[in-house]
Amino acid sequence: MHCLLIAVGSAGDVHPYVGLGLALQQREHNVTIVANPHFQKLIARVGLKFLPLGTEAHYQTLLAHPDLWHSRKGLSVVGEAARTTADELFRIVREHGKNPDGIIIGHSLAFAARTAQDALGLRLITLHLAPSCLYSLHRTPVLHPLLTNINRLPQLIKRPLLALGDLAADHMLDAAINTQRRSLGLPRARHITSQWWHSPNCVIGMFPTWFAPVQPDWPSQIRLTGFPLYDESDTTNTSPEIEKFLSDGDPPVIFVAGSGNRQAKQFFQTAADACRKLGVRGLLLTPHRDQLPETPTSGIGHFDYIPFSRVLPRAAALVHHGGIGSAAQALAAGIPHLVRPMTFDQPDNAVRLCELGVANVLTPARFQPEAVAKNLEHLLGSTDVGKRCHALALQLQCTNALGRTCDIVEAVARGELPSNDGLE
């Protein structure tokens, strides 16, 4: 089987595809990952085939866009980025489609792959990393930090709110998708994020049912597999400097604002100030050193990157943006979360973590040193939170999400679709 995996986004989006690619390759399938050249070294290092999409400059321009993390404008920024590579991705997918045993596994934002499916009849699996990609009138995804309580509303009120969100998404993504579709003679894509971006062949949700139970109005072809949890730990060594910091005192609080976030200077300054107020050690993780506090603080360390599976089991808590990869790794490590969500899947993930009893949430406006210190003090001192963290970590140890995902990919390639039975 020839597998084309299309990874769109930053490291948190790419890592699951690398993990899945390695799992498929171990089953002796031919695997190629399509991603921005920024990730070429990683993909080559693990021994997978690579095809570039876009340029390094394109990736850096996207990260530097002032509206990327804006709660209303971010989707338009992502749409424009997708538009610039749409024709290139279509050509890659079309070429791959010449393989008689070819199958495509595409990120939610791999719009041109979904268009190629409509145009060429190719086998495509849509892979959603977070449940916010799935609209529902029952358990409705929280798509904005101000809509935290949307699920307290009756469906009569939620229905028009979802319809407005659907229209807004169509407007923001129209050029990214429908310019190409018009050139191919295809009808305009509508209801893009509520319906169209789900492949009719199969949709895989890479999260467990206890994090997001299947809803009655989700696509019938969706299958859930669990968190992938790949983080480069197989190819990244822990440096002596990292080991020294972790061993030199009490478990630190880890702070991460997202690997693609170059607008986090205030986040990391607040982190340092909160640690000083609470009297705890802190570890700031970001590859963007210009985002760090200008004045060093005693007990505060910094590293560009450490695989979460190496550092979180030795941490007291994780303060993060609500990205699904960060959330999953902290759940696996059995530590509490303090979440500062901004946009995309982050607000919904934050609410789900709170519902599980393992997190507190602060909006960006409330993310101040006093509030951060107070919330961390509660999380670190709560016996109930600790018990919930431990219980969920044990539950994650009993799953094989990548293996289950491979099973589904192989079944779809045979023209089958396995049931969701037996998932936890």
pLDDT digits (tens, 9 = 90+) for 129-178: 999 999 999 999 999 888 999 999 999 999 999 999 999 999 999 999 99
Tell me: do 278 and 247 sit in the same domain.
yes
State the average pLDDT over residues 370-395.
98
DSSP label of 34: E
Tell me: do 142 and 165 sit in the same domain.
yes
Tell me: do 165 and 22 sit in the same domain.
yes
**Bridge pairing between strands 49-52 and 102-107:** unpaired
Report which residue type is found at 29.
H
The answer to whether the CB of 104 falls within 8 A of the CB of 129 is no
Q: What is the CA radius of gyration of the chain?
A: 21
DSSP label of 201: S
Residue 235 lies in a domain: no
State the average pLDDT over residues 250-255.
98
State the average pLDDT over residues 287-316.
95
pLDDT band at 423 (very low <50, low <70, confident <90, very high): low
Tell me: do 405 and 392 sit in the same domain.
no
CA 40 vs CA 11, 14, 46, 303, 307: distances in Å: 12, 11, 10, 22, 18
CATH number of the domain enclosing 177: 3.40.50.2000
Residue 277 lies in a domain: yes
* Angle in degrees, 0-180, between the axes of helices 74-84 and 56-64, rounded to the nearest 10: 170
pLDDT for 42-56, tens place per residue?
A: 999 999 999 999 999
Neighbours of 259 (CB within 10 A): 23
Tell me: do 112 and 258 sit in the same domain.
no
Residue 255 lies in a domain: yes
Name the residue among 248, 245, 299 with its Cα closest to residue 272.
Answer: 299
Q: Could you give the count of Cα atoms lying within 13 Å of 235 in the half-sphere of its Cβ?
A: 15
Prediction pTM value: 0.96
As given in the structure block, the two tokens for residue 399 are: 């799953």
State the average pLDDT over residues 391-398.
95
Tell me: do 271 and 368 sit in the same domain.
yes
Which structural domain range is residue 365 located in?
240-397
420 has pLDDT over 80: no
Residue 423 lies in a domain: no
State the average pLDDT over residues 344-360.
98
pLDDT for 170-211, tens place per residue?
A: 999 999 999 999 999 999 999 999 999 999 999 999 999 999
Tell me: do 132 and 244 sit in the same domain.
no
pLDDT at 36: 98
Neighbours of 279 (CB within 10 A): 10
Residue 419 lies in a domain: no
418 has pLDDT over 90: no
As given in the structure block, the two tokens for residue 252 are: 């630190």
Tell me: do 246 and 147 sit in the same domain.
no
Tell me: do 41 and 162 sit in the same domain.
yes
Residue 420 lies in a domain: no
pLDDT at 292: 96
The answer to whether the CB of 388 falls within 8 A of the CB of 358 is yes
Tell me: do 285 and 177 sit in the same domain.
no
Q: Is 154 exposed, middle or buried (0-12, 13-18, 19+ CB in 10 A)?
A: exposed
**Bridge pairing between strands 102-107 and 359-361:** unpaired
Nearest-angstrom CA–CA distance, 367 and 113: 39
State the average pLDDT over residues 357-362.
98
Tell me: do 259 and 293 sit in the same domain.
yes
pLDDT for 69-118, tens place per residue?
A: 999 999 999 999 999 999 999 999 999 999 999 999 999 999 999 999 99
Tell me: do 173 and 74 sit in the same domain.
yes
Domain count, the chain: 2
Q: CB-based contacts of 10: which residues, under 8 Å, 6+ apart?
A: 63, 258, 259, 260
Residue 231 lies in a domain: no
Residue 424 lies in a domain: no
Q: What is the dihedral of CA 383, 389, 394, 395, to 10 degrees?
A: 130
Report which residue type is found at 185.
G
17 has pLDDT over 80: yes
